């Protein structure tokens, strides 16, 4: 009888041990190795916060993209847990960036984003396409000299607005520029030049800073009979606003406003 009691006690202990090992939420999870709090990390890039993360993508010169170091759940890893850098694939040093930071590459080419966490690492690649649209008017009859227009300030005080009619990009470094054209009754009237304000509604911080600091240089031009810009030839006076290379791909993010 003593032997039977000992046998039953052993069976109970074994079952208890088995139950403890199989209890939900009590499994032993293997700890990540190499000083990283995640079992794996991923290097990814995206155009904007609304886009999906990708292993590789292509952007135009002057366009920004976001870099990300993702954890095992596909979310941005803690900033203190990962080291992220970007470098020109053709050569050059790595430049540290923050997790989720927007980057504007300074030139065309391929860039490598590296995410490190402990002894783990992953890479993503971004191809920056060279700007090729560098045709604009070869000669026009200038009505007024170039001048600076103030940037947009107070939304409630403006009632008129107009988006650009068309645009041209100049891509030769270091003289990269974006030219915006308006064919609009109010905007293209030289007598209204001091009433115009340039409004930028994009998300490129470098472009926004350039507009805020310097505004845009504007010119009033004639009907462009000698111009190679077919969008404005023969349409009467028009307004051109010249912006620097920081805004090269931001043509759709500008409007003129006036009281």
Mean pLDDT along residues 141-157:
79
The H or E element containing residue 21 is helix 2-22
C-alpha 26 chain-centroid distance: 43
Q: Is the pLDDT of residue 255 over 60?
A: yes
Q: d(Cα 123, Cα 43) in Å, to the nearest integer? A: 5
The whole-number average pLDDT for the span 226-248 is: 74
Q: What size, in residues, is the chain?
A: 259
Lowest mean pLDDT among 97-101, 143-147, 204-208, 248-252: 143-147
What is residue 59's predicted lDDT score, i.e. its pLDDT?
Answer: 84
- Of 79, 151, 85, nearest to 114 by C-alpha is 85
> What are the structural domains of the chain?
42-129 (2.60.40), 142-258 (no CATH)
Q: List residues bridging with 170 in a β-sheet.
A: 177
Would you state the pLDDT for residue 35?
A: 85
Q: Could you tell me which residues are beta bridge partners of residue 54? A: 45
DSSP assignment string, 32-83: PSTT-SSS--EEEEESSTTSPPBSEEEEETT--EEEEEE-TTSSBPPGGG-E
Lowest mean per-residue pLDDT among 25-39, 48-62, 67-81, 138-152: 25-39
Q: What is the residue-averaged pLDDT of the chain?
A: 80
Beta strands in the chain (DSSP E): 42-46, 56-60, 65-70, 83-88, 95-97, 102-103, 109-117, 120-129, 142-149, 160-162, 166-170, 177-182, 197-200, 216-221, 238-244, 254-258
pLDDT tens for residues 42-68? Answer: 999 998 888 899 999 988 777 789 999
Give the model's confidence band at 256: pLDDT under 50 very low, under 70 low, under 90 confident, else very high: very high
Least confidently predicted of 26-35, 101-110, 156-165: 26-35
Res 10 pLDDT > 60:
no
Query: Structure pTM?
Result: 0.55
**What is the mean predicted confidence (pLDDT) over 247-254?**
87
């Amino acid at each position: 009888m003593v032997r039977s009691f000992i046998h039953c006690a052993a069976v109970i202990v074994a079952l208890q041990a088995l139950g403890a090992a199989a209890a939900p939420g009590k499994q032993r999870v293997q700890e990540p190795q190499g000083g990283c709090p995640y079992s794996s990390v991923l290097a990814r890039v995206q155009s904007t916060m609304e886009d999906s993360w990708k292993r590789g993508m292509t952007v135009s010169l002057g366009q920004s993209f976001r870099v990300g170091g993702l954890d095992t759940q596909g979310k941005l890893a803690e900033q203190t847990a990962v080291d992220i850098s970007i470098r020109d694939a053709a050569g050059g040093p790595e430049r540290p960036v923050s997790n989720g930071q927007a980057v504007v590459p300074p030139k065309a080419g391929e860039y490598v984003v590296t995410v490190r966490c402990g002894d783990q690492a992953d890479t993503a690649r971004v191809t920056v396409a060279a700007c090729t649209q560098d045709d604009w008017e070869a000669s026009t009859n200038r009505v007024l000299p170039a001048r600076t227009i103030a940037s947009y300030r107070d939304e409630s005080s403006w009632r008129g607005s107009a988006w650009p009619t068309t645009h041209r990009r100049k891509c030769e470094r270091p003289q990269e520029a974006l030219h915006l054209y308006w064919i609009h009754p109010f905007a293209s009237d030289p007598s209204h030049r001091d009433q115009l304000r340039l409004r930028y509604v994009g998300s490129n911080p470098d472009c926004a800073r350039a507009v805020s600091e310097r505004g845009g240089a504007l010119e009033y031009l004639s009907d462009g009979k000698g111009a190679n810009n077919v969008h404005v030839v023969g349409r009467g006076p028009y307004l051109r606003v010249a912006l620097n290379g920081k805004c090269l791909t931001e043509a759709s993010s500008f409007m003129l406003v006036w009281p």
